[in-house]
Amino acid sequence: MANPLIIPNNQGEMPDGLDLSPGRFISIFESPSGKQSIFSADRKSNEAQLSIVNDEGRWIVEGIKYEDLDSPFVLNSNEQTWLIACWASLLHKPVFEVASKYLSARQTRTLLVSLGMPAAVHEQLLEAFT
């Protein structure tokens, strides 16, 4: 059966490797500047994929997990808000709970990258200051 959902990027290309099979949770976002993103998730396992159009206009598809929410992408505030709403809807969780988790994950990743420290050291610092 052919994919019932056709989502070309601005160049008319489909995202290779993105699971758009029937029964999946699918959400599509387009920013005011035309940047496109697609969230696709299995409703039972909550395994998810995020696909965005990069600066060259090509689709990038990555598996993402609720624990990290958007890895490895860097999203703007509009995209972050949309992705938080996707996770909240998929998991039947309050938006504020998902937003809190998202912001915590982003902060942890930012500190790890900017400070270059191992995760265990970072966790100890978080415990010491919270």
Query: pLDDT tens digits, residue range 25-47?
Result: 999 998 887 788 999 999 999 99
Mean pLDDT along residues 3-16: 70
3 pLDDT higher than 60: no
Output b/e per residue, 79-103; b: 16+ Cβ within 10 A: bbebbbbbbbebeeeeeeebbebbe
Q: What is the pLDDT of residue 41?
A: 96
Burial environment of residue 16 by CB neighbours within 10 A (0 to 12, 13 to 18, 19 or more): exposed
Per DSSP, 74 falls in state -
Q: What is the pLDDT of residue 91?
A: 95
- What does the domain layout of the chain look like in residue ranges? 25-129
Q: pTM for the whole thing?
A: 0.76
Query: How far is it, in rounded angstroms, from Cα 79 to Cα 29?
Result: 8
Q: What is the mean pLDDT of the chain?
A: 81
Q: What is the pLDDT of residue 1?
A: 45
